[in-house]
Amino acid sequence: MGLSTLFASSIDGLTLGFIYGLAAMGLTLIFGVMRVINLAHGPVIMLGMYTVFVLTTEMGMNPYLAIVLAVVLGLLLGVVMYFIAVHKVINAPELTTLLATFAVNLMIVGTATVIFTTTPHAIDVQLPSFQVGPTTILGTRIVAVLIAGIVTAALYYFLYRTRTGKSIRAVANNRAGAELMGINSSVILGLSFGLGTMLAAVSGGLISTLFAFSVLSGSVYETKSFVIVVLGGLGNPTGALLGGIVLGVLEAITTIFMPVAWVPVIEYVIFVLILLVRPTGLFGAR
Amino acid sequence: MRSFRNLSFWLILLVVALVALLPTLADSAALPFLTNAATMRENLFLLLMLVTLASSINIIMGYTGYVSFGHIVFFGLGGYFAFYLVQTYSVNVLLAALAGGIGASLIATLIGIPVLRLRGAYFALATIGINEAMRAFMNNFDPFGGALGMFFNYAVYDSYGGAKNAGELAYYAMIAVTLATIATSFLIKKSKFGLGLLAIREDQDASQVLGIDPARAKVIAYAISAFFPALAGAIFFFKNGIIEPGIAFDLQRSIEGLVMVMLGGYGTVTGPIVGAVVYDRLRSALITSPPITLGSLTVNLSNFHLVVAGILLLLVVLFVTAGFVGWLRNRFPAVRRFLE
């Protein structure tokens, strides 16, 4: 194994990790604001993939334009999901919200299975690739990372610089206190849920330009999101981004030393160990 | 053991046993109107397995309040252990199942000691992680056949008098396991230990003040709830003749178990049974229903069972949190004596 292999794998891992991190940020944002673990996160990632798929193959739209539509759809879907399935049980014990979001998961996956069946699909995106020394970096990867970067920057701007964003952070810190300050917490909670699912949809849209996918792919990336969220500390968006990069690089580098099939074993063992030893994650809670 | 003098205890077991033995009664011509006894036996075998699974999940989730999302891991482990023993050492399947059950309980104890310290969502996530880790591990574990799994040579069934007799043995063994699970679930609920579990579910810190050792009680409950799914897994895969990681550690099945518990009423003895029956019948009705045509669109309902399960689950979670049996018990206090 040469340095160049290590370099190529690291670049691969970095780019992928960034995109995984985006989905995980959505999951952790929802948890941070309302203490709900959204078990319908994977299906939303999958819907992001299929939105792009349908728009590009059926309507001939540019895949990156389709991702913009996936953003809007993801946001709306989350708001609807919140008010139908979560709002009524927002103060109930965790079991209730886990099951409510899982019910949504079943509905989305079931409907998508009826429409698309479970055969894999792929989107063909033609972009030039770049040469860095001996390493080839695919153009699709670079554009995906750029989009992920823009979305992240916009999210941080929104959360820290706008009035609504500040309200979200206030509700996350202390919902009762925020309500006393005249913030309509129901609207803010719905919006936060929508932002979380929006990130999932974008991430799914970006993944669809890189890999083949099926209706069942959502759960693969959802479990990755869980691992990342726990790595970064539940409720900590920056932690999720860093956690994503850690996981991406870890995945890419371990495959140099051992068969690919062992990677998930290592991932899940790390996941359980961190939950046990350091439940606040590597980078602390939010 | 006051439970043995409880009418409800014997009533539940009797009803389950009678339903489970319907095909046998049909065979002996006592019930001439049942003609498809063989199909019925197959369906009941799976249904009994689901009842076992749901009732076991209820012990840790319904009584103790710990949502074990990845509970199917014990079903898979029991299946793998027993399958290996039967295939490699020609151990009798009943002994092998027992060994698998004890093995799963031991593993549950080892896992439970650290993991049950986690509360709420953290515990639920950890159980998903454990199941996925185990599946990924089995995918790579060559002694157990790796990703391809293991399968029986048909000669294995010879010592049981052929495949047909082996199937019957599995069927009666599954009935016994189901009855044992329900009986255990009842005995736990009515015991001092069970009351301790309920106290932990309501308020763990307060239960400690009352002299309950939550750490110990939780691990014992977890080990018990791991034992029966392992037995069911051992019997199921013995009859199946094939075991592979995707089927043994299927998270979907695990979560369907949770749905059954919620549907019937969590924390009750009969709830998981009712939930399993309703869910299973509904699913098979959808799977076998003919496709319907809406204008130019043909919708195949067999793929729709997930959607229906989701809608049902959401309705129960939002509006009937206590589940069917829980609702009955709240609405008509008189039935509480019979419907535990």
Q: With CB atoms and an 8 Å threshold, state whether A268 touches B129.
A: yes
Chain A interface mutation, best of B60, B64, B132, B319, highest count of A Cβ atoms under 10 Å: B132
Distance from CA of B2 to the nearest CA of A (A): 32
Given an 8 Å threshold on Cβ–Cβ distance, is B314 in contact with A100? yes
Amino acid B30: pLDDT: 61
Range in A95-109, B48-62, B300-314 with the lowest mean pLDDT: B300-314
A272 interfaces chain B, CB cutoff of 8 Å: yes
> Tens of pLDDT along A56-83?
998 889 999 999 999 999 999 999 999 9
The CA distances from residue B257 to A48, B4, B279, B281, B313, in Å, are 29, 28, 9, 14, 12
- pLDDT (average), residues A25-54: 94
Residue of A nearest to B251 (CA): A219
Phi-psi label, residue B242: left if phi above 0, alpha if psi -120 to 50, beta otherwise:
beta
pLDDT band of B201, cuts 50, 70, 90: very high
- The reply to whether A115 touches chain B by the CB within 8 Å rule is no
CB nearest to A88's CB, from B255, B259, B318: B318
**Which one of B139, B299, B314 has the shortest CB-CB distance to A85?**
B314
The tens digit of pLDDT for each residue in B233-249 reads: 999 999 999 999 999 99
Q: Please give the mean pLDDT across all residues of chain A.
A: 90
What pLDDT does B21 receive?
Answer: 87
pLDDT at A285 over 60: no
Which whole number is the average pLDDT over A125-130? 81
Mean pLDDT in residue range A116-127: 87
Query: Taking 70 as the threshold, does the pLDDT of residue B35 lie above it?
Result: no
Q: What percent of chain B has pLDDT over 70?
A: 94
Q: Check pLDDT > 70 for residue A284.
A: no
Helix (H) or strand (E) holding A136: strand A135-137
B29 pLDDT more than 70: no
What pLDDT is recorded for position B206? Answer: 93
A114:B258 CB<8 A: no
Mutate to test the interface with B, among A27, A98, A251, A280 (most CBs of B within 10 A): A98
pLDDT at residue A283 is higher than 90? no
Note whether A110 contacts B: Cβ–Cβ < 8 A: yes
Domain boundaries, chain A: 3-221
Unique residue bearing structure tokens 């400690």:
B208
Q: What angle do CA A31, A34, A40 make, to 5 degrees?
A: 55
B138 pLDDT band, cuts 50/70/90, is very high
Query: What is the rounded distance in angstroms from the CA atom of residue A49 to the CA atom of residue A205?
Result: 5
Q: Could you give the number of structural domains in chain B?
A: 1
pLDDT digits (tens, 9 = 90+) for B49-74: 999 999 999 999 999 999 898 999 99
Among B126, B305, B317, select the one facing A96 at the smallest CB separation.
B317
pLDDT value at A133 more than 80: no
Work out the minimum CA distance from A136 to partner chain B, whole angstroms.
Answer: 31
* Closest CA in chain B for residue A229: B125
Contact A13, A249 (CB under 8 A): yes
Q: What is the pLDDT of residue B3?
A: 73
- Vertex A212: Cα angle to A210 and A215 (nearest 5): 125
Residues of chain A with C-beta less than 8 angstroms from the C-beta of B313:
99-100, 102-103, 106
Split at pLDDT 50, 70, 90, the class of B204 is very high
Q: For residue B18, give how far its alpha carbon lies from the nearest alpha carbon of chain A (Å).
A: 33
CB contact under 8 A, A226 and B61: no
What is the predicted pLDDT for the residue at A1?
Answer: 56
Is residue B334 a part of any domain in this protein?
no
Residue B271 inside a domain? The answer is no
List helix spans (H) across chain A: 3-34, 41-57, 63-81, 94-116, 139-161, 163-173, 175-180, 185-208, 217-232, 237-257, 263-277
- On the question of pLDDT at B33 being above 80, the answer is no
Q: Is the pLDDT of residue A286 over 70?
A: no
Residue B268 lies in a domain: no
By C-alpha distance, the chain A residue nearest B313 is A103
CB contact under 8 A, A226 and B129: yes
Q: Does A260 touch chain B (CB under 8 A)?
A: no
Q: Give the closest of B120, B133, B318 to A100, CB-based.
A: B318
Which domain range does residue B224 map to? 2-249
Whether residue A80 lies within 8 A of chain B, CB to CB, comes out as no
ipTM of the complex model: 0.86
Q: What is the pLDDT of residue B297?
A: 66
Question: With bands split at pLDDT 50, 70 and 90, how would you rate the model's confidence at B305?
Answer: confident
What local confidence, expressed as pLDDT, does residue B259 receive? 87
Mean pLDDT of A122-143: 82
Contacts of A99 in chain B (CB under 8 A): 258-259, 262, 313, 317
SS3 readout for chain B: CHHHHCHHHHHHHHHHHHHHCHHHHHHCCCCCCCCCHHHHHHHHHHHHHHHHHHHHHHHHHHHCCCCCCCCHHHHHHHHHHHHHHHHHHCCCHHHHHHHHHHHHHHHHHHHHHHHCCCCHHHHHHHHHHHHHHHHHHHHHCHHHCHHHCEECCHHHHHHHCHHHHHHHHHHHHHHHHHHHHHHHHHHHHHCHHHHHHHHHHHCHHHHHHCCCCHHHHHHHHHHHHHHHHHHHHHHHHHHHCEECHHHHCCHHHHHHHHHHHHHHCCCCCHHHHHHHHHHHHHHHHHHHCCCEEECCEEECHHHHHHHHHHHHHHHHHHHCCCHHHHHHHHHCHHHHHCCC
By C-alpha distance, the chain A residue nearest B259 is A99
Among A41, A88, A106, A234, the residue to mutate for chain B (most B Cβ within 10 A): A106
What is the distance between the alpha carbons of residues A208 and A203, in angstroms, rounded to a whole number? 9
The Cα A266–Cα B140 span in angstroms is 12
Q: Which chain B residue shows the shortest CA-CA distance from A268?
A: B133
**pLDDT at residue A81, rounded to an integer:** 96
The more confident residue out of B70 and A9 is: B70
Could you tell me which chain B residue has the CA closest to the CA of A39?
B125
Average pLDDT over residues A190-201: 97
Average pLDDT for B316-327: 90
Q: Which chain B positions have a beta carbon within 8 Å of A113's beta carbon?
A: 303, 306
Instruction: Determine which of A32-36, A278-282, B68-72 has the lowest per-residue pLDDT on average.
Output: A278-282
- Report the pLDDT value the prediction gives residue B218, as an integer from 0 to 100: 96
Q: Which residues pair with A79 in a beta bridge?
A: none
Q: What is the mean pLDDT of residues B92-99?
A: 96
What would the mean pLDDT of A121-146 be, rounded to a whole number?
84
Q: Which of B132, B251, B311 sits opposite A107 (nearest CB)?
A: B311
What is the three-class DSSP state of A203?
helix
Burial class (CB in 10 A: 0-12, 13-18, 19+), B333: exposed
How many CB atoms sit inside 10 A of residue B31's CB?
Answer: 14
